[in-house]
Amino acid sequence: MEIIRNADGTLVVGAKHARAHPTDNGDGSPSVAEDPGDAQADSSPGTRLLHPGEGGYDEALAEWDLQQNPEREPVVSTARGRQEAMTLVHEVATSPEHSVAAALQSIDNPTATGEALRHVLVGGVHSVEDFSSEVAQAEGGEAMSAHETTKIIGEILAELD
């Protein structure tokens, strides 16, 4: 199944197992919905909606990015690309408008920057956390949460593609 990235950064992915949601039995005790039609659904049957910061989100975002260009070579992060990626993420995070398009105008090599960001995502949550710490050290300020960092990376990659 193709992964769908929504405008708010959420991802719709294929679900291997249906999620059960608590319901009320009428006597105040929670139960698990037996019929998938009775469960509260985040998305259509057979899919799952992932929010930035949720388990599996980083991996799904990396997979979504690969789906955008399946012919792309494996990602390679260069020192210059990583530096521009850190500057770009910081600029988007601190911008009052949170404008990705405006921030992209300040970088010299969008391809290398995109590759560096893809490299961060491929590494998973710990890689995103480490990248966020590097951004804070290089650009100043506090490290962002993995959730916020991943969301900004997703916005940048969507704009680059």
**pLDDT digit string (tens) for 96-141?**
787 888 888 888 888 899 999 988 988 888 889 999 999 999 988 8
- Whether the predicted pLDDT of 24 surpasses 70: no
Whose tokens are 């992209």? That residue is: 104
Q: Measuring CA to CA, which residue among 67, 50, 58 is closest to residue 161?
A: 67
Which pLDDT value is given to residue 45?
A: 67
Highest mean pLDDT among 16-25, 41-50, 77-86: 77-86
pLDDT confidence tier of residue 40, bands split at 50, 70 and 90: very low
For all residues of the chain together, what is the average pLDDT? 79
Q: How far is CA 79 from CA 120, 122, 138, in A?
A: 13, 17, 13
Neighbour tally for 101: CB within 10 Å: 10
3-class SS at 48?
strand
Separation of alpha carbons 81 and 98, rounded Å: 21
pTM score, two decimals? 0.62
pLDDT confidence tier of residue 86, bands split at 50, 70 and 90: very high
Separation of alpha carbons 139 and 42, rounded Å: 37
